[in-house]
Amino acid sequence: MPEAVVSTRSGAVLGHEEGGAFAFLGVPYAAPAIGENRFRPPRRATSWDGVRLAEEFGPIPPQPTSGIGSYVPGDPLEQSENCLFLNVWTPRVGRARLPVMVYVHGGAFMNGAGSSVLYRPKRLAARGVVVVTINYRLGALGFLAHPALADGESGGFGNWGLLDIIAALSWVNENISGFGGDPANVTVFGESAGAMAICDLLSVDRARRLFRRAIVQSGAALVSEPEAATRVADRFAQLLSIAEPSREILSEVPVDEILEAQRVINAEVDNGIGLPFQPVIDGGLIRGHPEDAIVAGASAGIDLIAGSNRDEFTLFSFGALAGRTFEAADLEALIGRYLRGSGLDEARARDVIGAYRSARESRGETISTRELLDAILTDFIFRIPIVRLAEAHAAHAPNTYLYEFDWSSPFAGGALGACHGIELPFVFGTVHDQLIALFAGGGEAAYQLSEAVQASWVAFASSGNPSNDITGAWPRFRVQERSVMRLGAEVGPVRAPREDEREFWARELGRYGFGGPIEGARRLGVGFLAPGEDEHSGA
């Protein structure tokens, strides 16, 4: 098997050739965030002598062992706080100055790892780019935030996982040239929570200097207010029988106890529909809402692709509602909970449902209760915030593009449609994996779509314009035309899809508000259910 040795700032690493690209796996980009390094910015990785074998993935961050998308057969399963590793795939080592793509995985800031089978990018790298996948701290270890954890170095009291992402990007900036990459041409791309993290970092000067372009898939900016994060941290300490949170005490808590407290918190916050551990306005790394900074033009120098999938929410409703009846009253109650969780008037749920029913009827579409649920929450959580992100960014940056992924999963007889995460196998080329194809679909049509998506992502990483010979020209996003590139069984630009629904939210909420979901998140309240409280439980 062909091998290659590359020198990094910490020492030399040995990789191996894999499907047209050299793979360097389990490379540490920071020191272990263990003990006294818990709830602190990541430290520089320790140097080593000789050549380090980079042929196995490092451990994944501590996380629950169940949850949507938490495992693909073949994923590494070993967990450890010593998890700050990255992986590099490159078609050519040495001074080739190829475009670099750094992937930030999703998983609700609670699950996932850069080593997942789903994200193995050998086919993407073989197209002439250097691809880096990373781990970062998750859950409480990555996003617990409390003034008692105030850190003089970062100036804040949270966002440890975001600081890890910045450290990984700094590693890329310092080392990627030896792997054939151009440190001045870095595209950061991510999905779901990974996309949210990237949007948050668009407001951070020292992060933004480390990349030139961004692709955000199914996620816009998301931060909690300091008061909400502090309430989560106080409840977390209570569950651990800690009177007052402190770094010294929390650094000694066993990881399994941390994960159990996370599980309880996750069930309690907004009755299980919120993200209890997430980036926070901590006065240090994030000093204000990222939405405000983007609207003001902070990210003007960054080329951007943003997009969502046609049926995002079906991934969540499919399991939650399996075998259950779901009536009109259930729909109204559940939509009301989501409105309330974002600081909006839950009494408007009936108006929202009526607007979506009318819009679907006008297009001759079916309007079952379940279809209305999926359509409303796909828009509320994903599409509308992403459209509004594109609106705000395009006002300052000409290279702004919007897509909609329109390929339906064959799983369960097609019940998932174009659900959350369906685009990932097409981006990475793992649609060729027989197990993943059970979810994504296989065959020539799927492979052709993957070729189109990869050609677009690579063209964008190379030049800031995703147009290519397969898809043709991508129109830039402008609010006057609202052109969107549709990626599915048919590929091509469409103008203003589902405009009635977008206009409904524009009337209700004003022009901006993509700090997810919708602008109510800037005043998000964290509600713990009282013991014995019986609130409608839905998806």
Question: Which are the catalytic amino acids?
Answer: 192, 312, 420
Residue type, 443: G
Count other C-beta atoms under 10 Å from residue 156's C-beta.
25
Letter string b/e over residues 240-268, b meaning 16 or more CB atoms within 10 A of that residue's CB: beeeebebeebeebeeeebbebbeebbeb
Q: How many helices (H) and strands (E) does the chain have?
A: 18, 13
Calpha distance 158→20 (Å, rounded)? 40
List all residues 6 or more positions away from 36 whose beta carbon is below 8 Å from its beta carbon: 247, 251
User: Backbone dihedral region of 510: left (phi > 0), alpha (psi from -120 to 50 degrees) or beta?
Assistant: left
Q: Is the dihedral of CA 467, 293, 226, 160 positive or negative?
A: positive
E strands, 137-197, are 181-191
Tell the residue number behind the tokens 């105030």, with chain if given: 150
Long-range Cβ contact pairs of 526-532 (< 8 A, separation 24 or more): 526/224, 526/228, 526/231, 526/232, 526/269, 526/270, 526/274, 526/276, 527/269, 527/270, 527/271, 527/341, 528/231, 528/235, 528/268, 528/269, 529/268, 529/271
The terminus-to-terminus CA distance of the chain in angstroms comes to 48
List all residues 6 or more positions away from 452 whose beta carbon is below 8 Å from its beta carbon: 468, 470, 471, 487, 491
List all residues 6 or more positions away from 161 whose beta carbon is below 8 Å from its beta carbon: 109, 136, 137, 138, 142, 143, 197, 279
